[in-house]
Structure 1
Amino acid sequence: MSLLEVKDLRLSFSGPPLFDNAAFNIAERECVCLMGRNGCGKTTLLKILAGEASADSIEIIKSPHTHIAYLPQEVPTDLRGEVFAVVSQGLRSGLESYEGEVLVHTAISRVELEPTDLCENLSGGQKRRALLARALVSQPDLLLLDEPTNHLDIPSIDWLENFVKRLDCAVLFVSHDRAFVRNMATRILELDRGQISSWDASYDRYLELREARLEAEERQNALFDKKLAAEEVWIRQGIKARRTRNEGRVRALQKLRQERSERRERQGQVKMR
C-alpha cells in the first residue's frame, strides 16, 4: 500500500531544472535508496519531504496522520547536553509528560545509549545514534536518512544495518556506500536530469538494467542526430526548401531542432565507494 505519493515536483535555480515534473511513491515499510550523481538534488529532495525546503510546485498525497522524520547528513557541531534532552527534542507536541518520557527512554534504549550520557563526550557514531533516537521518538511512518554511514566504522555500519532492518516504518535513504545499498535497498529511485525513475530490483540488477537503458538511449540519440544532420544539409540547399511542397519538411526540421535543444545530456556518474 502506498504511504506517500509525490506528483508535479518542480524546482529550478539557474540552469536546467533540478526537478522537472518529477513523480514517485513510497510504500509502507519498504526501504528505498535514492540514487543519482553528486549535486543532482538528492539532499534537496529529502529536505523538501521533511518540510525543511520548498519546491516551485509539488503535490504530496498522504494521510493527514502520516509523519516523516529526517536524519541529516552532518552531525551538528553544537550538539551538547544529555542524550535524554537531545532525544526529547524530537517528541511530537500534545503528548502527556509521562507518555513522552517513556517514548524517550525507549528510543534511547533502542540505540544502546544512556539517558545521562553527555553528547559532547560521545564518539561520532554514538552522536549519530542519539540523533537517530531523536528522529525515531516521533514514531515516524517514513524515516529519511541522508548518507547515514558517513564517518562510521565497520562495526557501527553493521549495527546501523541491523537496526534499520528491524524498524517498523518505511525508509528512504541516500548513500554512496555500495555495500550498504546492496544490503538494505528493496527498491531504487534514480534521480537523473530532473526526472525520478523507479527500479523494482536489487542494487546489482538495477546497475544492469540502467546500463542497458543508457545504451538504448545513446543509440536512439545517435539516430536522431544523424537525421537532424541530414535535414540541415538539405535546408542549406536554399531554394528547394522554400518551395510550397517542402514547407512541411521545413516545419519538421524546426521541430527536430527544438527537440535537440531540449535534450538534457547526462552529467558525470554516480560515485560509489
Structure 2
Amino acid sequence: MAEFIYTMKKARKAHGDKVILDDVTLAFYPGAKIGVVGPNGAGKSTVLQIMAGIQTASNGEAFLSPGYTVGILLQEPKLDETKTVLENVQEGVAETIALMARFNQVSEEMASPDADYDKLLAEMGALQEKLDHANAWDLDSQLEQAMDALRCPPSDADVKVLSGGERRRVALCKLLLQKPDLLLLDEPTNHLDAESVLWLEQHLSKYEGAVVAITHDRYFLDNVSQWILELDRGRAYPYEGNYSTYLETKSARLKIEGQKDAKRAKRLTEELEWVRQNAKGRQAKSKSRLARYEEM
C-alpha cells in the first residue's frame, strides 16, 4: 500500500472570489487522527468534500491512494427513505451480510446428495476466512451496540419522519460500521448527548483507519486528535499534537512573529486555559468562547 492514504499537490479551489485552497500541498498518513479548525468560511466542509470525491480541486491534484476506501458524514446526510432505520444502518455492512447469506446458502447446498463437496468446501473455507476477518459472527450484536450508543431511533422507524438530528445519528452509525480506511466527519458530535460523544471518542481513538474531523467540540479535539489542520485564507497549516498542543504552538509562533499578533496570541492562551478547565457540562458549549475562537 502507498505511504500516504490521501495526497494534495498544489491543489487550488475557489468559490467565485473566495479562495478555499491556494496551491496547497498535503499528505495524510493511514491511521492518523486529524482535527480540522479554522475561521467560519475558511472552507473546512469543502475540503472534506474534495477528499470524499464529492467536489474536485480546480487545479493541481487531490487524490485517494489506490486500494483505500473513503466515507463521509455530511452535515445533511442522505438516507434511503424507502427503508427503515435498521435497513439504512445495515447498508454499512451490506458486503458482510451478503457473505453471511452466501455462507448459509453453501451450508444448505452441501446437504444435497448431488453436491460438489470439494468445490463447496473450498468456497466455504474462503467465505469463513472473510467472515472471520470482518468479525461477522456477532454482527447483530455490533449493530445493536452501535445504534444504542448513538441513541438511534427504533430499528423499525420510518426514515421519512426522522428529525435532522436523528438522521445524522443513523448516518453516523451506518458510516462507522462501514469502516472506511479514510473516515471524514463534518461536525460528528452535533445532536449527540454527552454519553454518546464519550463513546464516539473512545471508538475513534481505537479506529484502525484515518479520521479527519471538523468539530467545534474542543474537548473532542483534545481527546481524539493526533494532528490539527488549520485552514485560513486558502492556506493549510498542520500541527502535530492535539488541540491544546496546537494552541500552545500557535500562540508561541504568533509571539515570535511580532507585537502585531500579540492580541491573537493572548486569545489563544485564554482559549487553552478554558479547554483545560473542568469539562463539566461540555455539551452546554460556551457560544461566546466559540465566537471568539472563530475571530482568531
How far off its partner does 1:42 sit? 0.3
How far off its partner does 1:47 sit? 0.5
How far off its partner does 1:25 sit? 1.8
Partner of residue 201, structure 2:
161
Partner of residue 67, structure 2:
65
More helix by share: 2
How far off its partner does 1:77 sit? 8.8
Distance 2:218 2:19 in 1: 28
Which one of the candidate residues 166, 169, 180 is aligned to 1:140? 180
Q: Please say if residues 176 and 271 of structure 1, whose CA atoms lie closer than 8 Å, have aligned partners that are also in contact.
A: no
Cα 1:62–1:108, aligned 2, differ >3 Å: closer, same or farther? same
Q: Over aligned residue pairs, what C-alpha RMSD do you find? A: 3.3
Q: Which amino acid aligns with 2:98?
A: Y
Length-normalised TM-score, structure 1? 0.69
Partner of residue 11, structure 1:
13
Which one of the candidate residues 245, 268, 290 is aligned to 1:205? 245
1:212-251 to 2 correspondences below 5 Å: 212-219=252-259
Segments of structure 2 that go 5 or more residues without pairing to the other structure are: 102-130, 149-153, 262-290
Report which stretch shifted further, 112-121 or 46-55. Answer: 112-121
Distance 2:170 2:207 in 1: 16
3-state DSSP of counterpart to 2:238:
strand
Distance 1:154 1:271 in 2: 23
Cα 1:163–1:67, aligned 2, differ >3 Å: closer, same or farther? same
Q: Please say if residues 76 and 164 of structure 2, whose CA atoms lie closer than 8 Å, have aligned partners that are also in contact.
A: no
Q: Please say if residues 81 and 158 of structure 2, whose CA atoms lie closer than 8 Å, have aligned partners that are also in contact.
A: no
Cα 1:37–1:270, aligned 2, differ >3 Å: closer, same or farther? farther
Distance 2:82 2:35 in 1: 31
Partner of residue 234, structure 1:
none
Partner of residue 294, structure 2:
271
3-state DSSP of counterpart to 2:189:
coil
Partner of residue 49, structure 1:
51
Distance 2:221 2:175 in 1: 21
Partner of residue 111, structure 1:
146
Length-normalised TM-score, structure 2? 0.64
Q: Please say if residues 38 and 270 of structure 1, whose CA atoms lie closer than 8 Å, have aligned partners that are also in contact.
A: no
Partner of residue 221, structure 2:
181
Segments of structure 1 that go 5 or more residues without pairing to the other structure are: 222-267
How many residues matched? 224
Q: Which amino acid aligns with 2:170?
A: A
What is the identity percentage for the equivalent residue pairs of Structure 1 and Structure 2? 32
3-state DSSP of counterpart to 2:191:
coil
Partner of residue 98, structure 1:
98
How far off its partner does 1:10 sit? 0.2
Q: Which amino acid aligns with 2:36?
A: L
How far off its partner does 1:133 sit? 3.3
Cα 1:120–1:166, aligned 2, differ >3 Å: closer, same or farther? farther
